[in-house]
Chain A
């Protein structure tokens, strides 16, 4: 059974940093593109970043460019999102997900990040 389990969320002050983790199991992690998606409270989904199988290709959206970095450790079957210079508008549930073709077929349960003083 495919499982994706996010961790690392919590309360952080504006300007602070957090590192989210996503532990993958039930599939060959190193064979798939992975992604981070977020959802602010009561709002829609926002695609944040993608990373290819070996980590050599990364793409992210303008809203987080230069502040968030996606990475992976295939030996640990783990995906990461390093978030720096956090703002109130970054408050959201953060999901990791695995690709099927050009879509996200498996999702974690999400981890809540709250940016507030």
Chain B
């Protein structure tokens, strides 16, 4: 199972919106609505931001949203804030086990 493809980096100014893409195949992203997104700050454990494509766990701001079109999922961060600067990973169910994306570094300018 190959890793899902994400851009290496995206950046935006405070208050702007950024989108991170996550491209897979019909065997993972395209085949299931079980895409999740994780935020990871340096030296910390990942934090779940979006699950089941577009659901937010309790405590995650509604600035974070998820969507999918075909074999590509996306995470959109609206109203970018300084604390959003981190690495982000997508993940998809692929019929066990799961597969992570390559990771995207979000920089707040």
- A residues touching B (Cβ–Cβ < 8 Å)? 37, 44-50, 59-62, 95, 100-105, 107-110
Which residues on B sit within 8 Å (CB–CB) of A62?
A: 1
0/1 string, B64-100, CB within 8 A of A gives 1: 0000000000000000000000000101010011111
Q: On chain B, which size bracket covers the interface?
A: 20 to 34
Shortest distance in angstroms between A58's beta carbon and chain B's nearest beta carbon?
A: 9
Which residue from chain B places its CB closest to the CB of A59 in the assembled complex? B96
CB pair B52–A47 under 8 Å, yes or no, is no
How far is it, in angstroms, between the C-alpha of A37 and the C-alpha of B48 when the chains are bound? 14
- B residues touching A (Cβ–Cβ < 8 Å)? 1, 3, 32, 34, 36, 38, 40, 45-48, 51-52, 55, 57, 89, 91, 93, 96-103
CB pair A48–B48 under 8 Å, yes or no, is no
- Given known pairs A100-B48, A102-B52, the reply for A47 and B36 (CB within 8 Å) is no
Shortest distance in angstroms between B74's beta carbon and chain A's nearest beta carbon?
A: 16
Shortest distance in angstroms between B59's beta carbon and chain A's nearest beta carbon?
A: 11
Contact of A48 among B93, B97, B101, B102 (CB under 8 A): B97
Which residue from chain B places its CB closest to the CB of A44 in the assembled complex? B103
Shortest distance in angstroms between B1's beta carbon and chain A's nearest beta carbon?
A: 7
Which residues on B sit within 8 Å (CB–CB) of A110?
A: 45
How far is it, in angstroms, between the C-alpha of A116 and the C-alpha of B102 when the chains are bound? 26
Which residues on B sit within 8 Å (CB–CB) of A107?
A: 45-47
Other A-B contacts than A95-B45, A105-B48, 7 sampled, CB-CB below 8 A, are: A44-B101, A44-B102, A45-B89, A101-B34, A101-B51, A104-B38, A104-B46
A-B residue pairs in contact (CB < 8 Å), sample of 28 = A37-B46, A37-B100, A44-B100, A44-B103, A45-B38, A45-B89, A45-B91, A46-B100, A47-B91, A48-B97, A50-B98, A61-B1, A95-B45, A95-B46, A100-B57, A102-B51, A102-B98, A103-B36, A103-B48, A104-B38, A104-B46, A105-B48, A105-B51, A107-B46, A107-B47, A108-B45, A109-B45, A110-B45
